[in-house]
Amino acid sequence: IPGDYATLESPCPNCGGVVKENYRRFACVGKPGAEPCGFSFGKSPAGRTFETAEANALLRDRKIGPLEGFRSKAGWPFTSEIVIKYDDEAHNYKLEFDFGDDKKGEESGELVEFEDSALGPCPICGSEVHEHGSNYVCSKAVPTAAQPTPSCTFKSGKIILQQPVEREQMTKLLATGKTDLLDKFVSMRTRRAFKAHLAWDKEAGKVNFEFAPSKFPPRPGAATKTGAASAGRTSAAAKKTTKSATAKKAPASKTAAAKAPRKPAAGKAPSAALAAVIGNDPVARPEAVKKMWEYIKAHNLQDPKDKRTIVADDKLRAVFGKDSAGMFELAGILGNHLG
């Protein structure tokens, strides 16, 4: 019934015209007296239908989420943010899923202002932890007015493998080292639900899964994959982590056992190429990444068109082995230069 179709409150991002709902889409109908510009987005991307309020918020903020309840083509449920982005080829804005991640502030260089009350002290540096986008972050892990260059790395997703991590649980983790037993995780690999605590893994330097002692130990696939996804890393970083998780595979019921083979994150000697950038001192990888970022920022090496891309100068070229690298590659690249 045409009368039931909504008119969105925010204007078309492309032409400033009116955006109206129709049978399948929300579409620009143009400014009064003008033609529609072609901007539109589907009402049910990946099988999940927008509420009108969500469509309004999406159009207003150019992003929404993370939202749950999407289904991949293969039928698997997934959670994602949705953003409205300019598409150079189409010369118009379009909808995109945005999985990720945690690098927003660093990418854009925008200063973050927190709007929530602090959840507790960062397990790494003791600063306040706040909500930021789809993550809980240390207030020193994102650029703020108080400290434009992040000095900490603490971040943990608000939704991890479909399991929402409520503020209450993150507060508990920060206060006691772990959450209650949460039972709505879904393994990306096996699609099975599983239960785990989220716990601060001091040696890995991130939030990790801690499985309750059980006579049915978690399947290796589930444990490995979930460990990798725990910190909401990018897929490249996640793959990397998966490897190490496999390598240190141990009865997953005790974190202590799983940790044992891994020495505390002692410093490792940087390669000559890396030493030229961050100095000769032995460093653990997170520290190396931090120093690398200081170098990148100090030398203004982020591609202005895409802050995710690092444009190498001579020293970085020796480290990267190429002219540029994506920020999500950094940790992996640095790993190859340490030890």
* C-beta of 28 vs 301, nearer to Zn ion: 28
Positions 105 through 134 that interact with Zn ion (CB under 5 A)? 122, 124-125, 127
Q: Which stretch binds Zn ion (CB under 5 A): 30-38, 104-112, 241-249, 254-262?
A: 30-38
Q: How far is the CB of 174 from Zn ion (least distance, A)?
A: 11
What is the widest separation between alpha-carbon atoms in the chain? 70
Helix ranges, the chain (H): 52-61, 104-108, 167-176, 220-229, 235-247, 255-259, 272-278, 285-298, 314-320, 330-336
3-state secondary structure 165-197: CCHHHHHHHHHHCECCCEEEEECCCCCCEEEEE
In the complex, the smallest distance separating the C-beta of residue 16 from Zn ion, rounded to whole angstroms, is 7
- Angle, helix 235-247 to helix 220-229, in steps of 10 degrees: 140
x/- mask, Zn ion, residues 150-189, rule CB under 5 A, reads --x-x-----------------------------------
Which region among 46-54, 64-72, 140-148, 204-212 touches Zn ion (by CB under 5 A)?
140-148
Residue span binding Zn ion (CB under 5 A) among the ranges 56-64, 149-157, 223-231, 318-326: 149-157
By the rule CB under 5 A, 135 interacts with Zn ion = no
- Asked if 122 and 128 count as a contact pair (C-beta separation under 8 A), the reply is yes
User: Rule CB under 5 A: is residue 15 a binding residue for Zn ion?
Assistant: yes
Q: Is 234 in the site for Zn ion (CB under 5 A)?
A: no
Residue with smaller CB distance to Zn ion, 294 or 313: 294
Query: How many residues of this chain interact with Zn ion, rule: CB under 5 A?
Result: 15
**Binding residues among 35-94 for Zn ion as defined by CB under 5 A:** 37, 39
For residue 227, the minimal CB distance to Zn ion (Å) is 21
| Of the residues 8, 12, 64, 312, which one makes contact with Zn ion according to CB under 5 A | 12
Task: Give the tokens for residue 26.
Answer: 């929300």
Q: Judged by CB under 5 A, does residue 136 bind Zn ion?
A: no
14/134 with CB nearer Zn ion: 14
What is the distance between the alpha carbons of residues 108 and 305, in angstroms, rounded to a whole number? 10
Looking from the CA of 151 toward its CB, the CA atoms found within 13 Å total 9
14 binds Zn ion (CB under 5 A): yes
CA-CA distance, 334 to 339, in Å (whole number)?
10
Q: Based on CB atoms, which residue is closest to Zn ion, 16 or 279?
A: 16
Selection from 165, 169, 166 nearest residue 179 by Cα: 169
CB 207 within 8 A of CB 222: no
CB 194 → Zn ion: shortest distance, Å? 29
What does the per-residue mask of binding to Zn ion show for 254-293, with x meaning CB under 5 A?
Answer: ----------------------------------------
- Footprint of Zn ion on 212-231 (CB under 5 A): none
What's 58-100 look like in SS3?
HHHHCEEEEEEEEECCCCCEEEEEEEEEEECCCCEEEEEEECC
* 17 lines the binding site for Zn ion (CB under 5 A): yes
First to last CA, the chain: 67
200 scored as a contact of Zn ion (CB under 5 A): no
Task: Count CA within 13 A, CB hemisphere, residue 155.
Answer: 25
Residue nearer to Zn ion on the CB measure, 122 or 319: 122
Query: Which residue number, 38 or 221, has a Cβ lying nearer to Zn ion?
Result: 38
Eight-class DSSP state of 148: S
Of the pair 8, 124, the CB lying nearest Zn ion is at 124
Residues that bind Zn ion (CB under 5 A): 12, 14-15, 17, 28, 37, 39, 122, 124-125, 127, 138, 140, 152, 154
